[in-house]
Every structure is written in structure tokens, then in C-alpha cells.
Chain A
Amino acid sequence: MKRIFLAVVVIAFVFMLAWFVALRQALLFLVGLGMGAVLAGMRFGFTTGWRKLIEQRDPSGVLAQLALLGLAAILCMPMLAAYPKDLEAALGPPSFSLIIGAFVFGAAMQVADGCGSGTLYKAGLGIPLNTAILPVFAVGSFLGSATLERWLSLGAMRPYGLVAHFGAGEALGVTLLGLIVLGALVVRWSGRSARLLDHKLLLGAVLLAVLAALNLAIAGQPWGIVYGFGLWAAKVATAAGLFDPAANHFWSEAVNMTTLRQSVFLDVTSITDIGILAGALWVALGKPRSAAKPLTGVQWTVGIVAGFLLGYSSRLAFGCNIGAMVSGISTGSVHGWIWVFMAFLGSLLGVRVRRHFAF
């Protein structure tokens, strides 16, 4: 019954978007809905996959993520080469900001038990900590973007895109080779007795890769999560008179001033974020409510602080696990590889912090 009600709301929202906003936005909402359903339905957790590799030497989650990256690259890179003016890669600058941001993000996501997409779909599932973290994540994301210029002044190189420099074939070859090397290292670390493949996660990887490629083809830009969060908080701060976007380097840029003025339903990142929430809610309504382990006051405090750091660091790192890792690597951005390395180092610390506070 609840699912029927949600289906009616979703259909009405799709028609509203198509009629009053843009057909493209209706289509992107449906893509986001699929992403949310896959992430939540298959429990495709980036954070959990890394943690299982670190703590249990279980490589199945990380190998599924590598499969996602490879498949998405196979689909996205030829598209980027074929339509260089219509589509753009997720290019972030290699910088101190990226190094620091990715490390902090990797640590915080283990404590908060959710990355960008994880926080979103778990909030959609109704998991208490992630639900409470989402607004704090948004505030952090907004403040990170508002102070990004200062972090970039520490030192940054120009973004480097493999597809633009080498063409689709070579860029794809280098990317797949890198992923195979990473996969081999993961398998070697895990030992011979480890279960390598989880068929449910692999199916999730295939579906997410197709949806990520659809996002690129429809929106003209790769899948992202955290820009939308920062935008929502920036709108509230601006309306409350707490923030003047015209006086800020990031938000005074033309593209950001435009997104601030217009409805969030016109923003491509926000609309897929909303779709992910709705897709996860659809999954949640089809399952019996499970009793979550109650958290102590200290755990709540640590989790909320980690959520704020997630948001702040994701802007310094030019994306989260989706915007920087999935979209960065699959569209040939060097910053995606730096992100993975630094975030994994951060996760090594994060799992220990998580254990310390007995999450």
C-alpha cells in the first residue's frame, strides 16, 4: 500500500518535472531513482567494501567497485571522445586541497558509515545516523565550497584529463590497466581463501555503470552527489541573510550564481540526488523495518562531526566516492586516482577511529 502511494507520488513528480521544468530533468530523476534502488537494494556500499577489505581481507566489495569503474570507463570514455563539446569529464585539479580533502573524507566516511552516495541512500532507507548526518553533510559541503579558494591557494596544478590528452583508446587502456593492477593487489592482500566475487554486488556494479553512463549522456556531465548538498545549504544560508554569494569566490561564479537563483529541480546533481533518495525509500518500503542498534550520546556526537567533515572535505577533494572516484576515474581524470589513494589511507585511520568508539 505504501509502495503504491509512493509510485503515485513519483509518477506525479515525473510529470511535474516534464511539464513545468524540463523533460531532461524528468529523465535524470528516473536515472537517479534507478541509482537509489540499485544502491539500496543491493546494498552497494563503497565504505563497507573498503572496511571489509581492511578488517576482514574480504575483497568482494572492492572488486565489484573496480568492475564498476572499468565498465563505466568503457561506456563513458568513447562518448567523451565522440562528443567533446557536448559532454565534459569530471576534472578536478591535483592539489594540496585534493590530498587533504580525500584523506579526511576517507577517514570520516568510515566513522559516519557512509560516503556521498551511502549517506544519501541510507537516509532514504531511514537509517537514523545517516538521516541525521545528511543536513550536516550539506552544511559542511556548502562551507567547503565557500572556502575552497583558500585551500586551492596552497598549491594546485591544472586538471588533467586522459581522454583529452591521449584519446579514448589510450585513456581507456591506461585506466583498465590501472584497475587491473589495483585488483591484483587487492586479491594478493586478501589471500587465497578469500571469496573474490559477490554476484549481487557485481550485478549492482553493471547496473550502476550503465546508469552513470546514462547520466553523462543526458546531463552532459558525469554523475555527482555533493554539489547538490552544498547548493541546498547555500540557498538556505543566502535566504537567511547569513551569506552573500556575490562576495564569495566560488559562489559568485556565473554558473553557481545561476544555480542559486533557479529551482533545485533544474540542477542536474540535485535532481539525481532526489531520485536516489526516492529509489532508496522505495526499497525501504518493501522491506520489514529492521531494528537499528541504538547509539550512545558519544557515538551520535562523533557521527555528526564525521558527517560535517564528510561534507567539508568532499568539496576540498573535488567530489566524493561518486564525483571524484567513479566519475573522475571513468572519465579519465587524474584527480580520481589521487582521490582513491588518499581516501584509502584515510580509511585505514577511519576504521580504527570507528573501532575506538565501538560503532
Chain B
Amino acid sequence: MKKPLLTVIFWVALVGFFGWDWMHSAPIDVRQEPPLIAAGSGQAPSGAHCAATF
């Protein structure tokens, strides 16, 4: 497969996935927005990380 074709397929698939995900995920409640900067916010981090076992 030629490089430009593979690259195009990759980006189309990736953008398509993000579009599909946006349409099918739970709506975002912007009133529950996380703090802009976690440090000093007083809120515990809520995301998952690669190192976590859960």
C-alpha cells in the first residue's frame, strides 16, 4: 500500500471514530466542568491513568 493512501485511510478512520464517538457518547454537562488547573483546585483527579490497576 502506498504511503499517502495509508495515511489518508488512517486519518479518515481516526476522524470518523471521533465523530462516531461524539455522536454516541453521553452528552457533556459543561456545568460540571473540571477545574482548568488541577493543582490547587482542591479536587481529587478523576481520570484514569496507564499505571492504575483499576
Which A residues are within 8 Å of any B CB, using their own CB? 20-24, 27, 79, 82-83, 85-88, 90-93, 123, 126, 128, 131-132, 134-135, 148, 152, 156, 159, 216-222, 224-227, 231-232, 235-236, 239, 250, 253, 255-256, 258-259, 261-269, 274, 277, 289, 292, 314-315, 318-320, 322-324, 327-328, 333, 335
Contact = CB atoms under 8 A, between A and B. Distances in A.
- Size category of the B interface is 35 or more
B47 A239 contact: no
B39 A79 contact: yes
Given A20-B30, A79-B39, A152 B7 contact: no
Nearest to A92: B51
Contact of A86 (B14, B17, B44): B44
B49 A227 contact: yes
Interface SS, A side = helix
A93 B25 CA distance: 32
Contacts of A131: 6-7, 10
B43 to A, nearest CB: 7
3 nearest A-B pairs in the assembled complex, by CB-CB distance: A220-B38, A220-B45, A323-B50
A29 to B, nearest CB: 12
Contact of A218 (B1, B13, B17, B37): B37
Contacts of B45: 86-88, 219-221
B50 A318 contact: yes
A86 B41 contact: yes
Nearest to B32: A22
B42 A86 contact: yes
Contacts of B22: 263, 265
Contacts of B48: 227, 231, 255-256, 259, 267, 269
Nearest to A23: B36
A91 B51 CA distance: 6
A27 B28 contact: no
Interface SS, B side = loop
Contacts of B43: 86, 220
Contacts of B7: 126, 131
30 contacts: A21-B28, A22-B30, A24-B36, A79-B39, A85-B42, A87-B39, A88-B45, A90-B49, A90-B50, A90-B51, A92-B51, A92-B53, A126-B4, A128-B3, A148-B53, A156-B53, A219-B38, A220-B43, A220-B46, A221-B38, A221-B47, A221-B49, A222-B49, A224-B51, A253-B54, A268-B47, A289-B3, A319-B49, A323-B50, A328-B51
Contacts of B4: 126
Contacts, number: 166
A341 B44 CA distance: 32
A22 B13 CA distance: 25
Contacts of A216: 39
A143 to B, nearest CB: 15
A322 B13 CA distance: 25
A255 B54 CA distance: 8
Contacts of A21: 28, 30
Contact of A134 (B10, B34, B39, B49): B10
Given A128-B1, A239-B24, A93 B50 contact: no
B35 to A, nearest CB: 7
B54 A262 contact: no
Contacts of B10: 123, 131, 134
